Chains A and B, each alone.
Chain A
């Protein structure tokens, strides 16, 4: 669990992520991602495959075994990079209290 706190100084890393959500990242972006992609399991955003390699819908993990994964109706994606960016922005807002305007 990261103790790092994201601030406005990390805004360049958000832009870096938007340009390349998966792959090589700068150390600064990796530090931000360790926060945004970490955190507790309960409520964690996941992608639920609706059509393999074509369509996904956003979901959230439950806290305990046996409970269903929450499916966020309407939050569908046909592109994985768009899904990464959408989740990044939501997590950023939760961590900083501010929406990303990029």
Chain B
């Protein structure tokens, strides 16, 4: 089993900048650290094999291993305040939309000392019924339940409280919809001692979880909470059935201790109390915001226009933003380190873990005409994906048995590693946020994926080392920049580079990233898109928090599950989400091709078209006599495969683009995409549908620039064939050499 886990606080750095690395060991007391330049992470014996270049660096000797926990599960946290200390009677109220009632105790709101246990909790009990619990140092615990399980994914007004004068503990749930033959409304109370809340309790308020000993929180709530509030009196039974606006509810204003309005600050991790006490709080582990609340009617889908309809926060017991581990060692990038992809290798005995990062050149001093754009956003999008262990259908789409590696087995037993855009939350809802402030075990050299086709079976990070190794063996220097550089600096990040080379699957793009690349090609830059299904989903980086992106797969596209209605706008930015194609910027505009199909068994060759004889493309095929291109490779045995892009002028492929070669026949695990399946008819598989092909495309852009696209993830797996002497490599070399030439194309 994997006994070393680690992550870094950044994915790239320039000379002089420092990268902090956090490590957790399980049963390993000492480990060593090396620095390597990553060249070829593919261990497939049919290819060049694993290649890394040791880089001398003094890490200060062996390190002490220690365990650092991962604590998933989101919640809100409000610091203790004098306003809570005076509570004798109280009522806790909220609107609630549970997603997993009955899946163990789940705390909605509590204030409870984790040591003494004194305080109160409003919760769903083991049966999924609403309960209120009062715990007193001197008098034990009193819990009252309605005894009626809530229905999943229905809105309720829920309340629980205590009357200090009468000693009554009460709880009530009121559904927003009445169903005949469904008995899910309830009120219960029990007489107990008066004055139970008089004792001193110093505790924070937690929303969506309870304090725990040994970890920050437990008993996480799954579902949505809207407008939770605390009053300093016991409301009557008829009062707790409604959740009126605090400002005009007719109740005495001075009994309102706190009323959190989650429609305020949706892009942030802050929660706002609109009561006079202003007991603001913060969110831990990034629960989902910008989701419809109890007031949502469907008339407005954009939370920026009707924030009051979006007063809910969706909490999950498997949310994870930042592991928050302590730093174990740091690396300040020396001036002698040339730009490239590096990794710290943390190892002890047979155990090793790689933390990769890009080294950029000194600002304003590119060391090459060539920039490799490391698609870190897409690595995050797939970070710790559970494609091989959560979904039976994976075997059908890969057309062969699923192979699980040591890291898969570890991940299966350690779901606390967190989720990504290919997974579902435990309650079945779509995952909108993915963070890199956690160990991402599939972002390492040597790692094998599930979707990479017969052969090497690589995906994302490690598949991209096929391109890096090709660049290395050419002997040309190249710089590496990351998606985060592009996001932060825009087109300036590409200044000085004549050629931008992409990874195999740069699928996830923010508007800033896409603008930067489009500016690059519009202003005379050259783009070598050596992948497939690029520039597909629109993402957003968080505006203040580092290392996290959002993706909501609205409308259509290939996705694990769609967002629920009313959730098509980014909580980070308020922008519309989904496919770039549905945002009016299909990948074809930038790259000349766009996603048309996927299948993960075998790949196919390309066959040259008549357009490849066009004089404009002569430089591309110089030295290539073959008609068939790439009938070999480590990724499915061909250069066209896994995910395929085709040209389509209607979607934005420039009319002067040359389709130089196309793949023809793919297996029937390749299917058309949902966005092209407007009216399903038989014949949508790879052996029949004409659209299912990879198009190799070339076109010139304004100001002497140009774009070359392969439209296939598998392309890079063909480059190393026959010692990098093959028609796919020759074509790629030819394009790179010409694109480096400043003469206008």
- Given A46-B403, A47-B403; A30-B392 close (CB under 8 Å): no
- Whether A68 lies near B426 (C-beta < 8 A) is no
Q: Which residues of B contact A66 (CB under 8 A)?
A: 412-415
Q: Which residues of B contact A59 (CB under 8 A)?
A: 404
Shortest distance from the beta carbon of A1 to any chain B beta carbon, whole Å: 9
Encode contact with B along A34-56: 1 for CB under 8 Å, 0 otherwise. 10011111001111110011001
A40 to B448, CA, bound (A): 24
Q: Is A6 an interface residue (CB 8 A)?
A: no
- Whether B404 lies near A47 (C-beta < 8 A) is yes
A62 to B45, CA, bound (A): 31
A21 to B401, CA, bound (A): 10
- Whether B602 lies near A47 (C-beta < 8 A) is no
* Shortest Cβ distance from B414 into A: residue: A66
Q: Which residues of A contact B413 (CB under 8 A)?
A: 66-68
Interface SS of A by simple majority: loop
Count A/B pairs, Cβ under 8 Å: 92
Shortest distance from the beta carbon of A53 to any chain B beta carbon, whole Å: 6
- Given A23-B667, A65-B390, A80-B401; A38-B396 close (CB under 8 Å): yes
- Whether B426 lies near A45 (C-beta < 8 A) is no
Q: Is A87 an interface residue (CB 8 A)?
A: yes
Q: Which residues of B contact A68 (CB under 8 A)?
A: 409, 412-413
Task: Beyond A25-B668, A49-B405, list 12 extra A-B contacts (CB 8 Å).
Answer: A22-B399, A22-B602, A23-B399, A24-B667, A30-B669, A34-B396, A38-B393, A49-B403, A53-B43, A61-B412, A65-B386, A87-B401
Q: Is B226 an interface residue (CB 8 A)?
A: no
- Given A48-B404, A66-B415; A53-B396 close (CB under 8 Å): no
- Whether A37 lies near B409 (C-beta < 8 A) is no
* Shortest Cβ distance from A77 into B: residue: B401
A37 to B668, CA, bound (A): 14
- Whether B396 lies near A33 (C-beta < 8 A) is yes
A47 to B394, CA, bound (A): 13
Shortest distance from the beta carbon of A4 to any chain B beta carbon, whole Å: 13
Can you report 11 A-B residue pairs in the complex whose CB atoms are below 8 A from each other?
A22-B601, A23-B399, A38-B392, A41-B391, A44-B392, A45-B401, A46-B404, A47-B401, A61-B392, A80-B400, A80-B401
- Given A23-B667, A46-B404; A69-B399 close (CB under 8 Å): no
Q: Is A83 an interface residue (CB 8 A)?
A: yes
* Shortest Cβ distance from B686 into A: residue: A24
- Whether B404 lies near A83 (C-beta < 8 A) is no
Q: Which residues of B contact A40 (CB under 8 A)?
A: 392
Shortest distance from the beta carbon of B641 to any chain A beta carbon, whole Å: 12
- Whether A67 lies near B404 (C-beta < 8 A) is no
Q: Is B389 an interface residue (CB 8 A)?
A: yes
The 5 A-B pairs at the shortest CB distance, nearest first, are namely A65-B415, A37-B395, A41-B392, A46-B402, A37-B396
Encode contact with B along A54-91: 1 for CB under 8 Å, 0 otherwise. 00100101100111110000000000100110010000
A49 to B404, CA, bound (A): 6
